Structure 1
Amino acid sequence: MQCEAPNSQYAEVDVRPVNTRGDLRRFITLPRHIYKGMEGFVSPLDMEQRHLLSPKESPVFRHAEIQYFLAWRDGRPVGRIAAIVDHKAIEHWQEVIGQFGALDAIPEKGIVSSLLQAVEDWFRKRQISKLRGPVTLSGNAETGTMVEGQLSAPMIAIPWHPKGLDALIRESGYETAQNLLSYRLDLDSNTEERFKVPGNLRLGQGRLSSITTRDLSKKEITTQGEVLRKLYNDAWSHKYNFVPMQDYEMTAMIEQIKPLLRPEHYVQIDQNGEPVAMAMVLPNLYDIAGDLGGSPSPLGWMRLGYRLATHKFRSARVILLGVSSKMRGTMLGSLLPSLAIVELMRRGHTLPYRWVELGWVLESDTGMRNLAESLVPHPHKTHRLYEKNLLS
């Protein structure tokens, strides 16, 4: 499977629903074929993509109706897209909004517009007139179209798209709804010193004597995961495009990332024994798998196993950062995100990371942006969510 030759770019594009096992396999692996050779692209593992997209593995299918489509030209797939009716999202938003996702395509107008038209027709048949996306397949997973940062180092659970895809989506009538910003924080001996918490407050000391922290325990990870899920849902419930994470989604996520985790990767902050804030950092899988391709050889899998066992990571991503809703508007509540990040930094001295990615952060979330930009003035990646009203 290869990109089309330039002289075939004006050939007819045929968009068809994915109905067979073979087409599902093509759908899951498509990005590494159509983006191969594009500057900045590093192929994710097929295994990782199956966790996201396979109906047998992705927990999203338990509460969402999803239809995949492939765009074909000259007998070869050149793009993909998903139409998603997420009933948990609609219940939370109290508004019927359809979502599209897993949008990857050779960046040509005929291909992108044909894919978007296919999902629009699918939604019209279901009397759904407002669309939002892209998500893969939920706002709790890969989100947005990459607008800036194609040449930056790849990061786990952050999608990559070629330049030009954003413009083609907007040309199809989709308006920018939110930008999602990611910040690269290079770690050195002065990082913690540069990041000052007002009053040099420290957890468990002085005015914060009632505040304690908990580490990640692999023996108790299932119980801790449920605490994390409830705190995450509470902390993010008012954010744009938020969808409550279900218990089975958290279970699936823990099973997937458990081999990557160490106690230093998680900070839970309690006040008088009650969870009020949390932060989690996840090692960057691309560090140990980026040179192996999407489908490693047996030797490649052996290399991956060794690198995982010896924690050969150079970078990581802060994937969860939140504060309980009851702390909003309080002085302590405004300090907790900073305190959680500082605590991660202190623990991170035992880890080999040279840099971490903070993100994504909603462009409209001034509190989190101020926190990130106190460390890093400008984002190094931007992703975008769009909306379209089919009745306009």
Structure 2
Amino acid sequence: MSLPSSQVEIDDASLQVTPVTTRAQHDAFIRLPGRLYRDDPQWVEPLHFERRQHLSSKNPVFEHLDWQGWLAWRSGKPVGRIGAQVDRLHRQYHGDDTGQFGLLDAVDDPAVFSALFNAAEGWLASRGARRITGPFNLTINDECGLLVEGFDTPPVMMMGHAPPYSALRLEGQGYAAAKDLLAYWMRVDTLAFTPAMRRMIERWHHRVHVRPLDRRRFDQEMTTLREIFNDAWARNWGFTPFTEAEFRAMGADLKRLVPPDLIQIAEVDGEPAAFIVGLPNLNELIAPLNGQLLPLGWLKLLWGIKMRKVRTGRVPLMGVRQAYQFSRLGPTLALVLIEAIQQSFLKQGIESIEMSWILEDNAGMRNILENIGAYSYKRYRLYEKTL
């Protein structure tokens, strides 16, 4: 990680922005959102341990990404934060003049937002960035987008939350909407396919087979899922592929947290063609911990995982190979996977799920979801600016 050597100069004498360089500053950076949003009843504090891991050199994303964070201070207290990153892998796909921002949280003060973005944009510009997009925490394959609709419900696992003023302050810095991402909500037990959908599934049942992930061949299965995902998403806005190391790290988390039948693979004529991943919404268990695993938080979390039923879930990953996306078989693959994951969620006692995120202009997927009883309930926005 490349680090600037001096703090940002700004007009407000009581306001300073400093680069995050020390362990204490990293700790303040991670803890700041909890201080800002502790009175928001929908806020769920991420586990500080997990956030430290995410921003540590152990995260394989740093094999191709340079990141810097800043804190804004007023009267000795942190009042805002921002991160900026140059992703060399992203630049291979989208140009050498790209850069991103993320991990944006601040008090409702235009001066604080301005100071933070001055620091981030200056750092990015010095590294050749002229087109800035975000927020990404840290890539498009992580938590991304700023919440702009749906503030009245808590976020599910690995999705963000922000106060309503953040979008206004971000737009005040010259950023405009680039893409909107939608989160859909649905009751698992009321999911129902239309007669036309049933006929479609029946038409292809002799060629399509759905099975759960085989834990005996876990590494091989992860390779298959990565290949499908990188092919399925290659034409999407802002696409950056998962590297082998990134997917291996994600696979380790899935192996610990996700029952095998919450990962379903659809095969066409015996060849893997699509997949879907479901997650129990661990935010239900994390919310009371306020980010802390010590002194007793880890016991509460373990007790919750073992003894308490999680009632909600999320589908964060789904992919259909491009060869089938624009054929009649494409929607069928999506439907049989959704039906399989429905049964798996019901076995786990999960009552409702979020399907997220879905690009607003992905008309095909939105049509499927809305026809089986899901409805859009949150909107996240990705912004862009030309320097």
Distance 1:153 1:11, change over 3 A: same
C-alpha distance in 1 between matches for 2:40 and 2:308: 29
Deviations 1:154-173 (A, max 9, x none): 20110111110001000110
The amino acid of 2:223's aligned partner reads E
- Kindly state the Cα deviation for residue 207 of structure 1 after the two structures are TM-superposed: 3.4
C-alpha distance in 1 between matches for 2:154 and 2:372: 19
C-alpha distance in 1 between matches for 2:152 and 2:257: 25
C-alpha distance in 1 between matches for 2:286 and 2:185: 20
Q: Please state whether the residue corresponding to 1:198 is helix, strand or coil.
A: helix
Show the counterpart of 1:22: 24
Deviations 1:3-33 (A, max 9, x none): xxxxxxx873211111111111211222112
Q: Please state whether the residue corresponding to 1:223 is helix, strand or coil.
A: helix
Distance 1:87 1:251, change over 3 A: same
Confirm or deny that 1:112 pairs with 2:113.
Answer: yes
Identity level (%): 34
Conserved in 2, the CA contact under 8 Å of 1:183 and 1:380? yes
Show the counterpart of 1:316: 313
1:274 to 267, 271, 274: 271
Conserved in 1, the CA contact under 8 Å of 2:186 and 2:374? no
C-alpha distance in 2 between matches for 1:76 and 1:101: 21
- Kindly state the Cα deviation for residue 253 of structure 1 after the two structures are TM-superposed: 1.2
Show the counterpart of 1:68: 69
Conserved in 2, the CA contact under 8 Å of 1:174 and 1:387? yes
Deviations 1:81-132 (A, max 9, x none): 1111001111122453100111111122111121111111112222321100
Show the counterpart of 1:306: 303
- Kindly state the Cα deviation for residue 179 of structure 1 after the two structures are TM-superposed: 0.9
1:259 to 233, 256, 261: 256
Show the counterpart of 2:100: 99
Give ranges in structure 1 of 5+ residues lacking alignment.
Answer: 1-9
The amino acid of 2:34's aligned partner reads R
- Kindly state the Cα deviation for residue 199 of structure 1 after the two structures are TM-superposed: 5.0
Conserved in 2, the CA contact under 8 Å of 1:216 and 1:262? no
Conserved in 2, the CA contact under 8 Å of 1:197 and 1:339? no
User: Scaled by the length of structure 2, what TM-score is found?
Assistant: 0.92
Distance 1:310 1:257, change over 3 A: farther
Show the counterpart of 2:357: 360
Q: Please state whether the residue corresponding to 1:327 is helix, strand or coil.
A: helix
C-alpha distance in 2 between matches for 1:321 and 1:197: 24
Greater Cα offset, 226-235 or 257-266: 257-266
- Kindly state the Cα deviation for residue 214 of structure 1 after the two structures are TM-superposed: 2.3
- Kindly state the Cα deviation for residue 265 of structure 1 after the two structures are TM-superposed: 0.5
User: Scaled by the length of structure 1, what TM-score is found?
Assistant: 0.91
Deviations 1:8-63 (A, max 9, x none): xx873211111111111211222112211123212121122223222x33221111
Distance 1:286 1:207, change over 3 A: closer
Q: Please state whether the residue corresponding to 2:46 is helix, strand or coil.
A: coil
C-alpha distance in 2 between matches for 1:234 and 1:37: 43
Distance 1:121 1:376, change over 3 A: farther
1:12-51 maps to which residues of 2 (within 5 A)? 12-51=14-53
Conserved in 2, the CA contact under 8 Å of 1:82 and 1:101? yes
Conserved in 1, the CA contact under 8 Å of 2:345 and 2:351? no
- Corresponding pairs, count: 376
The amino acid of 1:20's aligned partner reads T
Give ranges in structure 2 of 5+ residues lacking alignment.
Answer: 1-11
